[in-house]
Amino acid sequence: MNDGQIRGFEGWTILFDLDGTLVDTAPDLLGALNHVLTGMDLAPVRLDAVAEMIGHGARAMIETGLKTQGAVLTAAEMDAAFERFVVHYVDHIADCSRPFEGAVEALATLRDAGARLTVCTNKRQDLSERLIGALALDSYFDVIFGADRATQRKPHADHVFETLAAAGGAPERALFVGDSRTDERAARNAGLPFVFVTFGYEAETAEAIGADVTISHYAQLVSALSDLRDQAVASPRGR
């Protein structure tokens, strides 16, 4: 990548999803889920049984894990299971979770090129901040915007717009990076170009997602974002 490709991100905001996009959080989330299940004398589950639910929150993961074994909880029991999940997850939030290969280098390059970097995630605000801090990624981001901070969470456009507003960014100079259909819909609803990463947790194929650009490694990200930036400048989208 030459200098000409990475310059010119001043005034641009890049929104990143968190789980499955920036960080491989599956091992620690699965550990928390299996802590809950085994505490109920149920068998632990494999990641492939619940991976697609990671972006939908802990309750969805728990419900899916229970469903694989035909177990049903009352509302009160579900609340208790959720609390056990969160307590365990907080204590083990970065035991095995790590940024995807090349992510840190890409973030550093984008920051050096003048981009504002944000996290737009359906993870809770406190858990998002704790994870990002534990992995020493907090210095890269201007804003972390969790689901409970948003008026309406992804895929609603409000989550995107509120993240941008908090960062001092504008939709016409913003790009979204994510690993799921939820992220794609959020980007489309807000009118942002979308980069789909194939190494996350989405069950749908890249072709089905229909992103503007698809990447399989963070080494491809800066070039992909540069191309989308140039296209947006040359042919502004109606927003």
| H-run or E-run covering 13 | strand 13-16
Going 148 to 151 to 153 to 158, the CA torsion angle's sign is negative
pLDDT at 1: 45
Q: Which two tokens stand for residue 207?
A: 């072709």
Q: Is the dihedral of CA 135, 137, 139, 145 positive or negative?
A: negative
Alpha-carbon distance 208 to 180, whole Å?
A: 11
CA gap 185, 54 in Å, rounded: 17
84-104: per-residue pLDDT in tens?
A: 999 999 999 999 999 999 999
Confidence of residue 53 (pLDDT cuts 50, 70, 90): confident
pLDDT band at 57; cut points 50, 70, 90: confident
For CATH 3.40.50.1000, list the domain ranges present in the chain: 3-25+97-234
Angle between helices 157-167 and 181-190 (to 10 degrees): 70
CATH of 3-25+97-234, one of 3.30.70.990, 3.40.50.1000, 3.40.1010.20, 3.30.390.10: 3.40.50.1000
Q: Within 10 A of 112 (CB to CB), how many other CB atoms are there? A: 11
The pLDDT of 58-63, averaged and rounded, is 90
Provide the token pair at 144.
């972390």
CATH no., domain 26-91 = 1.10.150
Alpha-carbon distance of 98 to 176, in angstroms, equals: 21
pLDDT at 232 over 90: yes
Q: Give the pTM.
A: 0.93
pLDDT of 50 over the 90 cut: no
The neighbouring-strand residues paired with 178 are: 196
- The identity of residue 184, as a single letter, is E
Phi and psi torsions of 45, nearest 5°:
-110, 160
Question: Mean per-residue pLDDT for 10-26?
Answer: 97
State how far the Cα of 208 lies from the Cα of 210, in Å rounded to an integer: 5
3-class secondary-structure state, position 97? coil
Q: Write down the H helix ranges in 92-134.
A: 103-112, 125-134
Question: What is the Cα gyration radius of the chain?
Answer: 18
DSSP letter at 95?
Answer: S
> What 3-state DSSP class applies to 143?
strand
Which position has the higher pLDDT, 135 or 3?
Answer: 135
The pLDDT mean for the chain works out to: 94
Q: Where in the chain is the domain with CATH 1.10.150?
A: 26-91
State the chain's maximal CA–CA distance in angstroms: 59
Percent of the chain with pLDDT strictly greater than 90: 86
- Render pLDDT for 163-203 as a digit per residue (tens, 0 to 9): 999 999 999 999 999 999 999 999 999 999 999 999 999 98
From 17, 24, 179, 212, active-site residue: 17
- The yes-or-no answer on residue 17 being catalytic is yes
